[in-house]
Amino acid sequence: MRITDLKFEKIKIKLKKPFVISRGATEYCESVLVKITTDEGYYGFGEATPSRSVTGESIDSVTFVLKTFKEILIGQDPLAIERIHYILNKAIAGNTAAKAAVDIALYDIKGKVMQEPLYKLLGGFENKVQTDITIGIGAPQEMANEAKESVDKGFNILKIKTGVDLKNDIEAIRLIRNSVGDNVRLKIDANQGWNIHDTLTAIKMIENYNVEAVEQPLADWDFDGSALLRKKADMKIILDESVHNAHDAMHAMKKDSADMINIKLMKSGGLYEAEKINAIAESAGINCMVGCMVETKVALTAGASLVAAKRNITDADLDSFMYYEEFEGIKGGFEVKGDTIILLDKPGLGIEINM
């Protein structure tokens, strides 16, 4: 079997309201959908959702790189995923969102060839995933109101964005805990917005609110600082932007910098490298979670399939489907009941797109 074509389509979906984190605001889901076809009639879908601040890519850079990838991929065996990653990495460094789109499409094809859903292809631990929901930065009372609405919809884990104004961050956490009660799990995510002093101050000030973890409080390069936080603070430290690939994961393990790693397919270049990150973390006795950018069902289904497949991936932040009205052009993938993503028992991603 050989690849005969790669085509892509840019999409832009307006969010219900701007999504604000410490590094800026997002008003649209902007992605590039990819379709790879073969000479035996199999085809697979993928998605690239770039982030200038995380992956260093834009929609325009992704489409430019995908044109190059099309020339490289024509004639390749779509099931030779390791070889294709080697070829793509040799052709261009970085550009992990563009590579993730190709990677996801290849795994979709593999699932269809083997007549197995992706979560079984990757390990098959279970077929459902409990996801948190993220509360973006805003006025503290507005954040508390949003948190209560989310809990009323069935979400039991909240991730609270912080990192712009420490005083407002603390007040928001206080109001959210008072609003949602004691049984809802809370995590915070500063997206590199704090330094060590701010983080230790925040942890001290919220110790009565039962916050279980803080994600990426420090700059992505500060592995030593994260290791110091783990020694000084009685709270889990999750690394996100610090870990893009297996080499970063190994560095984090050697430095004792993380209690958990947040894997994102757009950072890792897809499922192939994401599995390596999880394997390294698991070998060190560290659990992983899978997060997302503001993605459509294509990348979300791939991410959820990875979580469902692996026992060591215990947490998920795959909630971006909540930020916008459902995009009519994408069907299938999963169903949602409360805070639980239930993967469809269909080959590959189980997704259809008219493209």
The verdict on whether 264 is a catalytic residue reads yes
| 189 belongs to an annotated ligand binding site | yes
Q: How many CB atoms lie within 10 A of CB 251?
A: 15
Phi-psi region of 196 (alpha: psi -120 to 50; beta: other; left: phi over 0): alpha
Cα dihedral sign for 250, 251, 257, 262?
negative
Q: Where would I find the H helices in the chain?
A: 59-73, 81-91, 96-114, 118-122, 140-152, 166-180, 196-205, 223-232, 246-255, 265-268, 271-283, 297-309
Long-range contacts of 74-77 (CB under 8 A, 24+ apart): 74/3, 74/4, 74/5, 74/6, 75/2, 75/3, 76/2, 76/3, 77/1, 77/2, 77/3
Which among 148, 161, 297, 310 is annotated as catalytic?
161
| 326 belongs to an annotated ligand binding site | no
The verdict on whether 161 is a catalytic residue reads yes
Which among 35, 264, 267, 297 is annotated as catalytic?
264
Query: Would you please indicate which residues are annotated as catalytic (active-site) residues?
Result: 161, 264
In the annotated binding site for Mg(2+), the residues are: 189, 215, 240
In the annotated binding site, the residues are: 189, 215, 240
